[in-house]
Chains A and B, each alone.
Chain A
Amino acid sequence: MSRPKNQNYKGHGLPKGKEREQRASIRFKTTLMNTLMDVLRHRPGWVEVKDEGEWDFYWCDVSWLRENFDHTYMGEHVRISHFRNHYELTRKNYMVKNLKRFRKQMEREAGKLEAAKCDFFPKTFEMPCEYHLFVEEFRKNPGITWIMKPVARSQGKGIFLFRRLKDIMDWKKGTAGKKLTSLEAQPARNTVNPSGSHDTRSSDDQKDEIPVENYVAQRYIENPYLIGGRKFDLRVYVLVMSYIPLRAWLYRDGFARFSNTRFTLNSIDDQYVHLTNVAVQKTSPDYHPKKGCKWMLQRFRQYLASKHGPEAVETLFSDMDNIFIKSLQSVQKVIISDKHCFELYGYDILIDQDLKPWLLEVNASPSLTASSQEDYELKTCLLEDTLHVVDMEARLTGREKRVGGFDLMWNDGPVSREEGGPDLSGMGNFVTNTHLGCVNDRKKQLRQLFRSLQGQKKTPN
């Protein structure tokens, strides 16, 4: 097999040297009963394992992970769908801490301009420990709206908006609040390790008290980009195969989720207006299930291009690439990069009227339930391609830059769309290998890919 022209190109993480064994059948396990089950069951050569059987692949949920990961032996080839301490990225308060620390580091090493690239998350304060810092910031900016979010809940539960400190006072008086006040009086409970990671074992100490929910107070983005008078956010899928080195893939498809009602700042109590999670919208009195309220990203990209022109759209999407990379880099040193682990993240991005993207949060377990036929297509294709990249069948060479709808976005360094390595001199036209919202001709690409892989196998030199 001839060497590829560019020596700089690195494979994306498959073990070299030792021949990866082809397995006769791959035993999988999962508890999710939705699109994932359909995809796994239809995959040729994959058999389901139930209860206590041995498995090669487990798409687990995070609670199982927390309880069992540490005392589960996994063979070399085994794969599991979460990183042990993914919450460094996905719990709002940890993510904010990691990002802040990363930003400071960037400022020290590369200057203010580089550090400004990390300004994609709205000012956030952890409650209760940063309550006083929050009040200081609050007083500096009177009249703006803030949003209070529980760190660990999903689907829009427990979120509310406020403009006056009085509103927090009232909330503090409630059950959660009472515990908050008592905690405020004591030193911070969380043990922070020197590396910056958080040790959840400290939660054992709080066994005797009713566990208090942590919240973050975040500056609410008051000028979101509106389409048809409605607010929306974007759901984008990023697949991380390893953290050290950092290898991440970006899926071309995703969607924009619309709020069912028109946006106005007058009614901050109207949860339905401000929260775009489908779960919340589903309970809105206006919700009609047939409507969906999602746009595929391709449609969104076309809409923006016809309104603002292709250059503005290019800039927006490359700003979003920046969000994905920087957020992953910020937790790179903190997440335990176990070779058995991979993770499919669901990023929630909000665009404001100046076409600046903001990171709302990262989900470790993005919803895989389909809300419509189109949604079903998207999620099944997403999962199929995830399994292709994970490559239990040992078919890939490791030098692929694209697998189905996934484009290799970061491979221990930026990945260029063109052949050859990154443009280190900084000049010339480096275009990243991302195609978010672009044409996804995955079937054709997969056919070509697997055909050529077959060909390479048959002629082993």
Chain B
Amino acid sequence: MLQEESDLSLIIAQIVQKLKGSNLYAQLERQAWASLQRPEIKLESLKEDIKEFFKISGWEKKLQNAVYSELSVFPLPSHPAAPPEHLKEPLVYMRKAQGSWEKRILKSLNSMCTELSIPLARKRPVGEQKELLNKWNEMGTDEPDLSLFRPVYAPKDFLEVLINLRNPNYENGDSLSFRTHLGLIQVPLKVKDIPELKEFFVELGLTTGQLGIDDSTQVPPELFENEHVRIGQKVLTEQDSAAAQQYVRQGSPTALRAELWALILNISSHPEDILYYEQLKTNVIQHDLLVDSLIYKDVKLTASNDDYYFVFEDYLYQVLLCFSRDTSVLSHFAYNSASPPKSYIRGKLGLEEYAVFYPPNGVIPFHGFSMYVAPLCFLYHEPSKLYQIFREMYVRFFFRLHSISSHPSGIVSLCLLFETLLQTYLPQLFYHLREIGAQPLRISFKWMVRAFSGYLATDQLLLLWDRILGYNSLEILAVLAAAVFAFRAVNLMEVTSLAAAEAVLADLSTLKVMPLLQIFLFATVT
């Protein structure tokens, strides 16, 4: 009991510390001072009266939302004496693996830099700045020569690293037994099995209404949809983050989704936020970074070629170029196993005062990175709002998809979860695919790294991301991947090569995700 209490007070202290530096704190202070004018605030009961005032005026709600938001990203409770690396990643071998992967990426980036004799960063001449400012809303029309640039890495390179991950303390013997894991990931992390997933995802059950199933044309809207929309509107009026998060577990109505996601992520567009975005834009105009070319190349290769996202090409540049320069993103490295690449001013190697992070936000984009932003363009049209939403989604979820960690929502756990589900519940299929040299993870990895963006139809993708936000976890990606394999099992049993298996699973655009998930979790005989 005592331990829990002291853990809790530690957490409270840390959150209070964090919030004290935030904008909300300043606003609350101002509001408290202003409220002294009000007749109902009496000197004798000052504290209670001000608290009452906050409750009525909705400021308490805002504070609640902010606290809730902090709790969502707060790392799991750990020993108070644990060093900061443990917050990033408790397991040493994982930290080491991430470290060496980062070294490789950096080496690749530096060698590209040397080969092409392009500086990592340079200040733009005034003429170029003016030109870029004019073209800010249509950067997609630019056709710079990007043929010499290559993406720093692609998901399949990352997969190879994950396959070679080993826990040096784990010895599972040479003999094969029914416990042997037949997949590519060979680290012993704890993942949920179907009974545990059923409990975790209880709102996706067969007896609970879902958007994505119970709003189809055959079902009369009175049965579920109308009431669900009404509740959604109520949640928005109350402006309650926690309620919104619970609500979207059953899916979000199209018209309310943009606001609901903003509420869950605790994004509101204050003038300061818009100003911050404008500042980032100015940074983009003034300096050119090498990563900008990587971003351009990625957008041209992926989103621009997509049948639906090509329309939003310009927004993608506006978001991603600003994102690379946003130093506030560096704070998420406190709980990310990755570390931002450090570079030193010429001639001052090793001297911490001359260290800079490159790129300024510490995130090096890889092939397909822009697909994290593309679906959001469907919901948000105002650049600074779109930017904030993306940034928040990145520091809460997406970063876990390309860093090596033991977190249950980290990509390693997701891969292991996927393989375990397949091996346990579809053993024949798994074995068959393994025999023909088509390890299932080789096909599903790219889906999970991109959170299925670009593979599913947009409306289905948004229904999936509703649940990511609702459950504050990425595990649903692994479950969906397994469900897709289960759905196409009959065809997959007949293929005889990796290429053929890829072909069966090449087109996911017609899939309906919620029925697939429901059937896999709740309606399959286990």
Closest to A373 in B: B307
B141 touches A261 (CB 8 A): yes
**Contacting residues, chain B, for A306 (C-beta < 8 A):** 254-255, 257-258, 378-379
B238 beta carbon closer than 8 Å to chain A:
no
A303 beta carbon closer than 8 Å to chain B:
yes
Q: Residue A228 contacts which of B254, B307, B314, B459 (CB distance < 8 angstroms)?
A: B314
Smallest Cβ distance from A251 to chain B, in angstroms?
Answer: 17
A:425-446 near B, CB below 8 Å: 438-439, 441
A118 beta carbon closer than 8 Å to chain B:
no
B307 touches A374 (CB 8 A): yes
Smallest Cβ distance from B224 to chain A, in angstroms?
Answer: 16
CB-defined interface of A274-305 with B at 8 Å, one 1/0 digit per residue?
00000000000010101111110001001101
Closest to B253 in A: A310
Contact A293/B310 with A229-B137, A262-B141, A307-B381 known, Cβ cut-off 8 Å: yes
B276 beta carbon closer than 8 Å to chain A:
no
Question: Complex formed: what's the CA distance from A288 to B138 in Å?
Answer: 16
Contact A303/B378 with A227-B311, A228-B312, A372-B307 known, Cβ cut-off 8 Å: yes
Contact A291/B310 with A228-B377, A262-B138 known, Cβ cut-off 8 Å: yes
A230 beta carbon closer than 8 Å to chain B:
yes
**Contacting residues, chain A, for B313 (C-beta < 8 A):** 228
CB-defined interface of A213-243 with B at 8 Å, one 1/0 digit per residue?
0000000000000011110000000000000
A57 beta carbon closer than 8 Å to chain B:
no
Question: Complex formed: what's the CA distance from A262 to B307 in Å?
Answer: 18
A302 touches B459 (CB 8 A): yes
Smallest Cβ distance from B225 to chain A, in angstroms?
Answer: 11
**Contacting residues, chain B, for A258 (C-beta < 8 A):** 311
A309 beta carbon closer than 8 Å to chain B:
yes
Question: Complex formed: what's the CA distance from A299 to B312 in Å?
Answer: 14
Contact A305/B307 with A228-B314, A261-B141 known, Cβ cut-off 8 Å: no
Question: Complex formed: what's the CA distance from A441 to B510 in Å?
Answer: 12
B:136-164 near A, CB below 8 Å: 137-138, 141
**Contacting residues, chain A, for B138 (C-beta < 8 A):** 229, 261-262
Closest to B306 in A: A291
CB-defined interface of B247-279 with A at 8 Å, one 1/0 digit per residue?
000000011011000000000000000000000
A230 touches B311 (CB 8 A): yes
Smallest Cβ distance from B459 to chain A, in angstroms?
Answer: 6
Question: Complex formed: what's the CA distance from A139 to B310 in Å?
Answer: 41
Please report whether the interface of chain A is mostly helix, strand, loop or mixed according to DSSP: mixed
CB-defined interface of B4-27 with A at 8 Å, one 1/0 digit per residue?
000000000000000000000000
B:306-342 near A, CB below 8 Å: 307-308, 310-315
Q: Residue A305 contacts which of B254, B308, B458 (CB distance < 8 angstroms)?
A: B254
**Contacting residues, chain A, for B458 (C-beta < 8 A):** 299, 302
B304 beta carbon closer than 8 Å to chain A:
yes
Question: Complex formed: what's the CA distance from A349 to B378 in Å?
Answer: 22
Smallest Cβ distance from B503 to chain A, in angstroms?
Answer: 15
**Contacting residues, chain B, for A441 (C-beta < 8 A):** 217
CB-defined interface of A19-58 with B at 8 Å, one 1/0 digit per residue?
0000000000000000000000000000000000000000
B72 beta carbon closer than 8 Å to chain A:
no
Question: Complex formed: what's the CA distance from A293 to B254 in Å?
Answer: 24
Question: Complex formed: what's the CA distance from A227 to B378 in Å?
Answer: 10
**Contacting residues, chain A, for B307 (C-beta < 8 A):** 292, 294-295, 372, 374
B78 beta carbon closer than 8 Å to chain A:
no
Closest to A292 in B: B307
Smallest Cβ distance from B371 to chain A, in angstroms?
Answer: 16
B305 beta carbon closer than 8 Å to chain A:
yes
B257 touches A295 (CB 8 A): no
Question: Complex formed: what's the CA distance from A441 to B216 in Å?
Answer: 12
Question: Complex formed: what's the CA distance from A286 to B310 in Å?
Answer: 13
Closest to A291 in B: B310
Smallest Cβ distance from B206 to chain A, in angstroms?
Answer: 23
Question: Complex formed: what's the CA distance from A288 to B304 in Å?
Answer: 10
**Contacting residues, chain A, for B254 (C-beta < 8 A):** 302, 305-306, 310
Q: Residue A262 contacts which of B257, B258, B304, B314 (CB distance < 8 angstroms)?
A: B314
Q: Residue B315 contacts which of A228, A292, A308, A438 (CB distance < 8 angstroms)?
A: A228
Smallest Cβ distance from A311 to chain B, in angstroms?
Answer: 9
Contact A295/B311 with A229-B137, A262-B138, A439-B217 known, Cβ cut-off 8 Å: yes
Question: Complex formed: what's the CA distance from A438 to B215 in Å?
Answer: 13
Smallest Cβ distance from B506 to chain A, in angstroms?
Answer: 12
Closest to A310 in B: B255
**Contacting residues, chain A, for B378 (C-beta < 8 A):** 303, 306
**Contacting residues, chain B, for A310 (C-beta < 8 A):** 254-255
B:448-479 near A, CB below 8 Å: 458-459
A299 touches B377 (CB 8 A): no
A:50-106 near B, CB below 8 Å: none
Q: Residue B308 contacts which of A261, A288, A295 (CB distance < 8 angstroms)?
A: A295
**Contacting residues, chain A, for B304 (C-beta < 8 A):** 288, 291
Question: Complex formed: what's the CA distance from A308 to B254 in Å?
Answer: 10
Question: Complex formed: what's the CA distance from A45 to B138 in Å?
Answer: 53
CB-defined interface of B277-315 with A at 8 Å, one 1/0 digit per residue?
000000000000000000000000000110110111111
Question: Complex formed: what's the CA distance from A438 to B379 in Å?
Answer: 20
Question: Complex formed: what's the CA distance from A295 to B307 in Å?
Answer: 7
Smallest Cβ distance from B163 to chain A, in angstroms?
Answer: 32
B308 touches A299 (CB 8 A): yes
**Contacting residues, chain A, for B137 (C-beta < 8 A):** 229, 262
CB-defined interface of B377-412 with A at 8 Å, one 1/0 digit per residue?
111010000000000000000000000000000000
**Contacting residues, chain A, for B315 (C-beta < 8 A):** 228
Smallest Cβ distance from A27 to chain B, in angstroms?
Answer: 36
A:319-373 near B, CB below 8 Å: 372
Closest to B509 in A: A374
Smallest Cβ distance from A404 to chain B, in angstroms?
Answer: 15
Q: List 26 A-B contacts (CB under 8 A).
A: A227-B311, A228-B311, A229-B314, A261-B141, A262-B141, A286-B141, A288-B305, A290-B305, A291-B304, A291-B310, A292-B307, A293-B310, A295-B308, A295-B311, A299-B458, A302-B254, A305-B254, A305-B255, A306-B254, A306-B255, A306-B378, A306-B379, A307-B381, A308-B255, A310-B254, A372-B307
New A-B contacts (20) at CB < 8 Å, excluding given A261-B138, A308-B255, A309-B255? A228-B377, A261-B141, A262-B138, A262-B141, A288-B305, A291-B304, A292-B310, A294-B307, A295-B307, A295-B308, A295-B311, A299-B308, A299-B458, A302-B458, A305-B255, A306-B254, A306-B255, A310-B254, A438-B217, A439-B217
| 9 nearest A-B residue pairs (beta carbon) | A228-B311, A262-B138, A309-B255, A306-B254, A305-B254, A228-B312, A291-B310, A292-B307, A290-B305
Q: Which B residues contact A (CB, under 8 angstroms)? A: 137-138, 141, 217, 254-255, 257-258, 304-305, 307-308, 310-315, 377-379, 381, 458-459
